[in-house]
Amino acid sequence: MTASGSAAAPRRFSRAGERRRIAFRALGVQAVWNYDTLQAVGFAWSLLPGLERIYPDRAERAGRVLAHLDLINANPYLSTLGLGVALRLEQEVARDPAIAGPRQARLLKALNGPLGALGDELFWGAWRPALGLTAALFALATMSVWPALIFLVAFNGLAQSVRFGGVRAGFAGGAGIARVLRDPFWRRATGRARTLGAVAAGAAFGAGLVWAGTAAGDLGWRDADGAWAWASAAAFALSVFLLVLGARGGRGERPLVPVLALLVLLAACSALVQAGGGG
Amino acid sequence: MIEPLEGLGLAGLGAVVFLDQWPAVQAMVSRPLVVGSLAGLLLGAPADGALWGAVFEVAFLAIQPVGAARYPDAGLAALAGTTVALVGLREVSRAGGEPVYPAVLAVAVALGAGALGEWAGGWHRRRNGVTAARVQSQVAVGDLGAPGRAVLIALARGALIGAVVTLLSLIGGLAGLALAQDVGAGLLSAAGLRLPAVVVAAVVGVRLFLRGPSSRLAWVGGAAGGAALAWLGSA
């Protein structure tokens, strides 16, 4: 069975109800995440509503579920794209298992990398930290729960749309899913999120300068004197320097450096306040 | 220090937070910013909770849950840290003192809770490996209900882990708070808390997002806007 041969029939098979059931199950695609097969159990479980239709025979269906229990990896929001592709190819496998079976296995294996990297880059590397930083700055400035709420709505607006639209897109793409993954949307969305993050990082710097000036007066640091105050100020400066050296973007390198720096900064600030007699 | 109902609510929140981080949904309810706000609502101090959520959000901002990477459990860390900060504030206010948070203790408790959560998450993943191997053998003999049962069991185990880690962290954190109350060190008001947090935010933000000339331009624009807004806010 060729890709063009399979393109004639499959669309009518993927009904909206079935797609929804698969997408809802995909909310738990990482439930049994483990170091050996990663998301495989959740993936196979999510695919079951489609397999029930394609393989009415129980033994045959069990064989196909088993084929999906090997190793599956994807960013959780993009896993539905893989599910859609798998569903489309399962229909080919049902017609010609000898040729389409190995082809499907090869394709899903090849998809592991792009579905992981693309989603990680967009959601974990750009969208979430950019929105998180922006919302955190507003929360620091306003002491309100609204930034958290807006963060939730904005993040899920994109992430859950991608997740719930994924089964349909993956099914429509089938073996040609690379076209969906090469769509400029992913690069544009990542770029815009990074720009938002850069603006927020700049805003943190600008607001920090102003707040440092007001804090010096409000907290009594200008009146602070003595060796203890100088030592606290030096600790503050040193921890900022170490933070600059140690904090890394990217794949979770040195994840504790910012937290440890925060701890030292708080201790230094608290000591400065006590030395200055402020509140 | 905290009412039994509050403790129960926080343990329930811990269960949701643990599940949301990677096993299910990933709606970002587990982000420190959201967790802090929810903990604040549970403890009757939403504004203080939002502030502490923001502090922990910037501290844990650079962590990315990529593949098998190991990282502290930011959600449970923020939950324990925010609770200690807010309970400390409440105790000080009841005693008629200045409204200050036990800031250093709160972050130290968060570090401990994050490490405990990381260990528990690793254990949960290893247990999931055993479950996944069992599912393969069950499906091989035609048991098609095995994947669904495995998902439910893993979710229940994750919820239990989240609740237990939260309770253990809170017991440790509140014991620390009781011991530290007489020391009177590491205390900060909301105004004092803001500056260290924004310094961490500025540095981590630069490391994450400053790549290429256009991002530098965006940074400069953000710096001018941030300074203007902060100045207007303080004027």
Q: Which residue of B has its CA nearest to A31?
A: B23
In the predicted model, is pLDDT for residue A130 greater than 50? yes
Q: Which two tokens stand for residue A89?
A: 């190819």
A72 phi, psi to nearest 5 deg = -130, 135
Does residue A267 have a pLDDT over 80? Answer: yes
pLDDT band at B171 (very low <50, low <70, confident <90, very high): very high
Say how far apart CA A20 and CA A168 lie, in whole Å: 9
**pLDDT band at A19, cuts 50/70/90?**
confident
Question: CA–CA separation, A247 vs B166, rounded Å?
Answer: 27
Q: Please check whether residue B202 touches A, CB under 8 A.
A: yes
Per-residue confidence band for A10, with pLDDT thresholds at 50, 70 and 90: very low
pLDDT tens-digit profile of B204-217?
Answer: 898 889 888 888 89
Of all residues in chain B, the one with the smallest CA distance to A197 is B209
- For A35-48, the pLDDT digits (tens) are 999 999 999 999 99
For chain B positions 148-177, those within 8 Å of chain A (CB to CB) are 148, 150-151, 154-155, 158
> What distance in Å separates the CA atoms of residue A276 and residue A46, rounded to the nearest whole number?
61
Cβ contact, residue pair B225, A240, below 8 Å: no
pLDDT of residue A9: 44
Q: Is the pLDDT assigned to residue A7 strictly greater than 50? A: no
| A116 touches B19 (CB < 8 A) | no
For chain A, what is the radius of gyration of the CA atoms? 26
In this predicted structure, the answer to whether residue B31 has a pLDDT above a threshold of 80 is yes
Per-residue pLDDT at A65: 93
Question: How far is residue A86's CA from residue A98's CA, in Å, rounded to a whole number?
Answer: 16
What mean pLDDT do residues A224-241 have?
Answer: 62
Percent of chain B past pLDDT 70, that is, above it, reads: 97
What's the CA gap between B174 and B180, in Å, rounded? 10
Rounded to an integer, the average pLDDT of A159-181 is 90
B84 in contact with chain A, both atoms CB, cutoff 8 A: no
Q: Average pLDDT in the A230-248 region?
A: 63
Task: Give the mean pLDDT of chain B.
Answer: 92
DSSP assignment letter at B28: S
Confidence band, pLDDT 50/70/90 cuts, at residue A252: very low
* Cα→Cα distances A134→B135, B168, B186, B198, Å: 43, 32, 27, 11
Confidence of residue A222 (pLDDT cuts 50, 70, 90): low
Beta carbons of A135 and B198 less than 8 Å apart: no
pLDDT, residue A4, reads: 40
Q: Identify the CA nearest to B130 among candidates A42, A35, A31, A70.
A: A35
Rounded to the nearest integer, the mean pLDDT of chain A is 83
